[in-house]
A and B are shown apart, each in its own frame.
Chain A
Amino acid sequence: MRHIKIVKKGNLQELEKRGCRECQASCQSACKTSCTVGSQRCRQEEQDR
């Protein structure tokens, strides 16, 4: 592509594929005050790697 470079292909259209609800609760992480769910990891994805 000449005018657009895809930096990252997001995964938000994949709800049916996952949605296992096994991911970490955000507030058990480093912040304890600022929830940033984008910082969380998907356990299924990590296991698949």
Chain B
Amino acid sequence: MADLHMFQYRGKRLVYDVNSGSLHEVDELAWELMHLMCNDNTNEHIDELPATNYSRPDIKQAQTEINTLQEQQLLFSSPPPGVAHRFGGGRLKSLCLFMSSNCNLQCRYCFARPPGKGKDNKGNMSRDVAFRAVDLLLEQEGGDFCELDFFGGEPLLNFPLIRETVAYARAGGLRKGKEFTFTLTTNALLLGEEVGTFLNEEDMSIILSLDGRPAVHDQMRRTLSGGDSYARVLPRIHKFLQERGYNNYYIRGTYTAHNLDFCKDVEHLLAEGFDSLSMEPVVAAAELPYALQQEHIPRLEQEYDRLVELFLERRAAGRPFNFYHFDMDLEKGPCVYKRLSGCGAGGEYLAVAADGTLYPCHQFVGTEAFRLGKLADGPLELDTASGERVACSAAQRNECSYCWARFLCGGGCAAASYFLAGDLYQNDKIYCALQRIRLERALYLQAV
């Protein structure tokens, strides 16, 4: 079977060549010819096409075009060089710091604090742990770039240490010739003037948690006293973004079984003036009332269709917006190495719990079986084997080996596999279905 993904969407026949990452729009004749070729990858199918539908010169022309693209490795291409290599951990370059595992909200879907998780992730991170984390990045051989993500809990509960850590990392980067980039994920409750000025001066990328319509947001994102949070965070978000000219940010929402009509939440966010959005499916065990279920998929597919319409309407009206999962660069995007090594969790990317315990990524924090070591225990002894297991799991998920989306999703999320499918090497069906739905629409948007 050839590595082509052929699909029709909104009247277009699109062909995605998996091994080159090329995208083609084809007419009916080429579509039929490619379908025939998919089975045996030969050019001997001209006689199988109905002569009543197509003229012989047309068929020959289409076949010639296919052959030309095949020679250029843009269609029916062979597996890319290096694809047989086992890409694993790589140089550690990115850390997610749980600056505070405390939070001033109690969101129902929070993956950081389910029962039984997080016993080593309580309270605020200490200066010692934060600085050791920076040192860990600086000690890595090679590479020019390092990334620090301030996360939690609510990281701004430990704002003074964020300020110190940024200064420490910048100074260390200067000494070692490494450039740091910083991101911060916040619920915005503590996004006041002093904090905002600092984040803007440092040009830090900000991810602001906001789920959409007030009722949707407030249903899941409750204050510690059980009250609503939407009305408290919205003005703070606007004030902060106004000061940075609405640049370098994402509004990051979560949708659940309670708002399968999440496109209305996207519309709400757009109406509020936000134009850089990410709306993510909740990660939740199937038995939870807000968890997404298999039977929700058709409804969610319609919702992504509506999102495409909205995307095009806004673009046509001169008011485009960014939607994280529709953002794709087939021509200048990441190379095969990145496509095969996935998100980097367990190797290039680790998470540091508030007490200094290291995990493969932020979603594994507090899960005993994935402890990789501890920064506060003197010389670090990193359990690289355990990290490597997570880092390599993307390439070892059997279902990915024949999925057309494998070079776009990178084998998906190890945490989703472990927590939802119950095994690092299995795929969560809902997660993969949504991923493919989004990717088909992202590919379509490349063609219009």
Contact = CB atoms under 8 A, between A and B. Distances in A.
Interface of A: 1-19, 21-43, 45-46, 49
B407 A12 contact: yes
Contacts of A4: 24-27, 30, 62, 65-66, 69, 75
B144 interface: yes
A42 B332 contact: yes
A28 B280 contact: no
A4 to B, nearest CB: 5
29 contacts: A2-B61, A3-B27, A3-B29, A3-B62, A4-B62, A6-B22, A8-B446, A9-B20, A11-B20, A15-B81, A15-B335, A15-B337, A18-B335, A22-B145, A25-B348, A26-B410, A27-B345, A27-B362, A30-B207, A32-B185, A32-B207, A34-B435, A35-B410, A36-B408, A36-B439, A38-B328, A40-B334, A41-B329, A42-B335
Interface stretch (B91-99, B162-170, B189-197, B239-247): B91-99
A2 B331 CA distance: 22
A24 B96 CA distance: 13
Contacts of A2: 27, 61-62, 65
A5 B92 CA distance: 41
A5 B415 CA distance: 39
Interface of B: 14, 17, 19-27, 29-30, 58, 61-62, 65-66, 68-69, 73-75, 77, 80-82, 90-91, 93-94, 96, 143-145, 147, 149, 181, 183, 185, 207, 250, 252, 278, 280-281, 283, 324-325, 327-339, 342-345, 348-349, 361-363, 407-413, 415-416, 431, 434-435, 438-439, 442, 446-447
Given A13-B77, A34-B280, A28 B407 contact: no
A46 B349 CA distance: 22
Contacts of A22: 93, 143-145
A39 B328 contact: yes
Contacts of A13: 19-20, 73, 77, 80-81
Nearest to A16: B81
A5 B66 CA distance: 11
Residue from the set B69, B278, B362, B434 with the largest chain A CB neighbour count within 10 Å: B278
Contact of B93 (A9, A11, A25): A25
Contacts of A39: 324-325, 327-328, 333
Contact of A15 (B82, B145, B149): B82
Contacts of A27: 94, 96, 149, 343-345, 349, 361-362
Given A9-B22, A35-B412, A39-B324, A25 B336 contact: no
A18 B340 CA distance: 14
Residue from the set B17, B278, B333, B339 with the largest chain A CB neighbour count within 10 Å: B333
Contacts of B30: 3-4
Contacts of A11: 20-21, 330-333, 335
A12 B343 contact: no
Contacts of B145: 22, 24, 43
A16 to B, nearest CB: 6
A8 B22 contact: yes
B324 A29 contact: yes
Nearest 7 A/B pairs, CB to CB = A10-B21, A37-B410, A26-B343, A30-B250, A25-B94, A25-B349, A38-B408
B142 to A, nearest CB: 9
